[in-house]
Amino acid sequence: MPRPVIIDCDPGLDDALALLLALGSPAEVEVLAVTVVAGNAPLALTEINARKVLALGGRPDIRVHAGCARPLVRTPVLAADVHGKTGLDGYDLPEPGAPLAKAHGVDAIIELLCARPAGTVTLCPIGPLTNVAMAMVKAPEIVPRIREIVLMGGAIGLGNTTPSAEFNVFVDPQAADVVFRAGAPLVLCPLELTHQALVTPARLAGIRALGTAVSAAVTGLLEFYNVYHRTEHGRAGGPLHDPCVIAYLLQPELFEGRDCHVEVEIQSELTIGRTVIDWHGRGRPDRGPKPANAKVLSKLDTDGFFALLTERLARLPL
């Protein structure tokens, strides 16, 4: 039976690839709904972008719920410099194939977790954690019903938005703090992992060679995405952060990591949004280590990852 998932996202170019990877894998994952949040782009764009990607993938029937338009406490931070003004610059995607679902994204998360048997639904947050945190605060009874939360966010070392913080956690550190303290099983895909999944020219050529409408769209989006990463960071291509979450559900053998205690800095303006990952289990000299609360992934079989992504994109639309 496929694993039921809720994908909480802020599309975003790499979010689009994560959604398409899930759509191309119906034997392994059942996308119950997509909830969207402000992050890479404002909410008014992320809800449209999610519906466009679902239309491209041939699944406009999947519900899209608009969630929170701003972080819990802080001023909104966007990423137009990376993803463009629309959040999905680089290719004219098809118009949405269905209207936005009426229920708020937070309420949709609560409703779906309560409607399904406890321990069966996996949450896949690949944007700021505002929606997930709000659902936990509004209905704490959902936490023990969650099978697992597999999320993209944080860093073991340096950030990509500040010297200390990765974008998704920096945008709403208070929400991330709620999620990491909640007690649900967590799997974390940090920057050290996702920066291994670079869209090199050869890998992009492999996607282009599929010769489908989906591959043409993906190629256009990734070419735009690569320009920023090559010019601003000197990389061979852009890192596919968010698809790592879906790939882990599909083929966990591609990944390596270890169980760690993770906390989020929410007080210091200098390091706010930093994920403090106790990689070596040191804790503090006066207290000792705290129990692990997350599996932190650090190594990726990159060739296996891109083989999986390309093969699943070739299936779309189903």
Is 241 among the catalytic positions?
yes
Query: Is 300 in a helix, a strand, or coil?
Result: strand
Strand partners, 294: 260
Burial of 14 (0-12, 13-18, 19+ CB in 10 A): buried
Question: Which structure tokens are listed for 161?
Answer: 């938005």
Query: Distance between CA 84 and CA 174 in Å, rounded?
Result: 26
CB 106, CB 68: distance < 8 Å: yes
Candidates 104, 241, 261, 280; catalytic one = 241
Q: How remote is the C-alpha of 141 from its chain's centroid?
A: 24
Give the strand pairing for 275-277 and 146-152. Answer: unpaired
The residue type at 180: F
Question: How many residues comprise the chain?
Answer: 318
CB 261, CB 158: distance < 8 Å: no
Q: Which of 160, 103, 101, 154 is nearest to 126 (CA)?
A: 154
Q: HSE on the CB side for 265, CA within 13 Å?
A: 18
CB 178, CB 129: distance < 8 Å: yes
- Catalogue the active-site residues: 241
